Amino acid sequence: MNTSNPLSSAWADAFAKLSPRHAFQNPVMAVVWLGTLLTAVATLAGRASAGFGWAVTGVLFLTVLFANFAEAIAEAHGRGQAASLRRARKDLVARRLDASGQDSSVPATELRPGDRVVVEEGQLVPADGEIVEGMATINEAAVTGESAPVLREAGTDRSGVIGGTKVLSDRIVVRVTAEPGHSFLDRMIALVEGSNRQKTPNEIALGILLGVMTLTFLIVVVTLPFIADFVGVQVNVVLLVALLVCLIPTTIGGLLPAIGIAGMNRALKANVLAKSGKAVEVAGDVDVLLLDKTGTITHGDRQATAFHAMAGVDPAQLRQAALLASLADPTPEGKSIVRLAREKGEALTDPARAHFVAFTAQTRMSGVDIPDDRIIRKGALDAIAAHVKSLDGRVPAELEARVIDVARKGATPLVVSDGRHVLGVIELSDVVKRGIRERFARLREMGVKTVMITGDNKFTAAHIAADAGVDDYIAEAKPEDKLARIRAEQAQGRLVAMVGDGTNDAPALAQADVGLAMNSGTQAAKEAGNMVDLDSDPAKLLAVVEIGKQQLITRGALTTFSLANDVSKYFAILPALFAAAIPSMAVLNVMNLSSPSSAVLSALIFNALVIPALVPLALRGVRFKPASATELLRSNMLIYGLGGVLLPFVGIKLIDLVLSALFSM
């Protein structure tokens, strides 16, 4: 099929969707589809004049075709991205390592989870996996569309790589994590093409409502001939079908699949891969957002800016201890401490036979053990205080005041100790992202509560929280604190969203109603979340919520419009049915339509044309601005409710004038 021209592809799909198997998946359009066949048979049987009967049949056929086109054009929007992803998934050759460390070339399709492959500069990553050795810059443009290279490194939360991306520098060893045919790209292609799209709970509920309404009106129309016969009126079967089609909510019935697909497409446009349409919609219903401070609220590149020695401690002693404790710290903060100490005149020495202690979320400190009984540590206030006391040391009374002074400036204090003695405080400065306060204010207007999670002490956390404008914060947080907070919020009936990238985030991502995993993160995090951000931007969660809100508002607005414009169409069809036999019903002909046949055709033509007319709105989404549920309801009723009632009066009257002119020629 030609995917280079979305319109021609969509029209071809629209005709293909006329098959009964597809038509009967949508109860509303199935009734219109059957009505088309019934009017055609009735016309052939002479139950209606040929001109009028075939005109009604043709308009009903176009109604079904336009509804299929709305769904097909939404699906076509994802095909361009699927094609580019397929190009990235071309046949690859891997250099698989055996137990002895020797590599051999094999097709990438033979790789299995657990296999280790080596990838060097200029080569393509053959399969999804995690870097277990080395670090490299990687071009992920084939997946994300972003040409800027990204850094991936073993042993960090940015170790995940995707098959089909290109290594630009260095050499890495990757452990394969995906079976052939089940890679990240394979799943993306299936999702953007709609083959794996499942209906969301709201969509299912609305579908049931539309089905019940359709069945109700079907029963009403079926019983109408018996009522008409009682008053001596013969009702034409073609008119009955026309009445039924105008009574049932054909507009939203035809647009409903397109709205769901378009929601996922809008997420993809923002470079967010939603594993299901449900994830996008649930994002619009979330009540609480859990956000990491670093990288989301702040820029995340905390740098050492000052050393504050305790009274009686030589500043050079503090700087030297901080430098030694940071030599094996690979984080930007650790490197900045080494750099600042050297700028202050400290020599870079690597002590012999030293044992370096890495930072962990549990200990919340790191450092070095030197054979001459020196135990140097740097970390959070409470962690260092507990460590010093465990060595029978004493925490200076001035320490807490120094820490508070640093924290009140919005910086992060790290305390340094040498054995039983506290030497001083390192000041790490971070900056709140520009515009983040306004974004939190937008979320607050939507009724969404924001909670900042940070490992910083309570003073720093309070300062950053106030500066950023979040509603609540969790200071000195451990990985399990995220999971506990999510469960606590859910126990109170709230929907929770969070973002994460590390293996230790996986339980919380899985527990959250919306879990946004970073593309650069570990495979465990990406598997646990129900969304993946291809740009690896933690702040994207804020945009995801707005996309979800827009999805819900779009469906609600178009449903309101569809139900409202049915009211106007009654005034076109009902007089046509009964006015001739019951003159008193002529008062219902408020639009002063020229004839019963013209009234029926005008209503049906308007009914058919309104579906393609609303396709751009369904694809783009209703313009979203933060507001309360009451304000949104009022706006919908005013614009789409009142507009849905008035527009058909104008449209049907104009079509009637055109038809009258044509009939009179």
586 marked as binding residue: no
301 marked as binding residue: no
366 marked as binding residue: yes
Cα separation, 93 vs 124, in Å, equals 9
Percent of the chain topping pLDDT 90 = 19
Percent of the chain topping pLDDT 70 = 88
409 marked as binding residue: no
Is residue 370 a contact partner of residue 405, using CB atoms and an 8 Å limit?
Answer: no
454 marked as binding residue: no
Nearest Cα to Cα of residue 261 among 203, 184, 183, 185: 203
Among 14-28, 164-178, 217-231, where is mean pLDDT lowest?
217-231
66 marked as binding residue: no
Is residue 652 a contact partner of residue 572, using CB atoms and an 8 Å limit?
Answer: yes
DSSP string, 291-360: EETBTTTB-S--EEEEEEEPTT--HHHHHHHHHHHHTT--SHHHHHHHHHHHHTT------TT-EEE---
pLDDT at 309: 93
505 marked as binding residue: yes
Cα separation, 502 vs 26, in Å, equals 42
Cα separation, 510 vs 527, in Å, equals 9
Is residue 253 a contact partner of residue 26, using CB atoms and an 8 Å limit?
Answer: yes
361 marked as binding residue: yes
Nearest Cα to Cα of residue 289 among 541, 483, 518: 541
* 32-88 per-position pLDDT tens digit: 999 999 999 999 988 888 888 899 999 999 999 998 888 888 777 656 556 655 665
3-state DSSP call for residue 345? coil
Residues ≥6 apart with Cβ < 8 Å to 45? none
pLDDT at 424: 95
Give the other-Cβ count within 10 Å of 198's Cβ.
Answer: 11
Cα separation, 540 vs 535, in Å, equals 9
501 marked as binding residue: yes
Cα separation, 648 vs 650, in Å, equals 5
pLDDT-derived band at 427, boundaries 50, 70, 90: very high
* 523-566 per-position pLDDT tens digit: 777 778 888 887 777 677 778 888 888 888 888 888 889 888 88
Q: Which residue has the tokens 């292609």?
A: 189
- Greater model confidence, 660 or 198: 660
535 marked as binding residue: no
Active-site residue, selected from the candidate residues 115, 285, 292, 537: 292
Cα separation, 193 vs 478, in Å, equals 40
3-state DSSP call for residue 645? helix
Give the other-Cβ count within 10 Å of 392's Cβ.
Answer: 7
* 137-150 per-position pLDDT tens digit: 888 776 665 556 77
pLDDT at 310 over 50: yes
Query: Which of 393-404 are b and which e, b meaning 16 or more Cβ less than 10 Å from the residue's Cβ?
Result: bebbeebeebbb
Residue 23 in tokens: 């038509």
Cα separation, 456 vs 665, in Å, equals 82
Among 38-52, 154-168, 269-283, 593-607, where is mean pLDDT lowest?
269-283
- Greater model confidence, 139 or 195: 139
pLDDT at 631: 74
Residue 602 in tokens: 């005008």
pLDDT at 163: 83
Cα separation, 593 vs 445, in Å, equals 47
pLDDT at 194 over 60: no
Its pTM stands at 0.65
pLDDT at 357 over 50: yes
Q: DSSP character for 176?
A: E
Cα separation, 214 vs 220, in Å, equals 10
pLDDT at 449 over 50: yes
3-state DSSP call for residue 368? strand
pLDDT at 2: 44
Residues ≥6 apart with Cβ < 8 Å to 640? 557, 558, 560, 561, 564
Cα separation, 660 vs 665, in Å, equals 9
Identify whether 292 is a catalytic site residue: yes
115 marked as binding residue: no
568 marked as binding residue: no
pLDDT-derived band at 584, boundaries 50, 70, 90: low
Give the mean pLDDT of the chain: 82
pLDDT at 352: 74
pLDDT at 116: 93
- Greater model confidence, 207 or 323: 323
Helices and strands: H and E segment counts in the chain:
24, 22
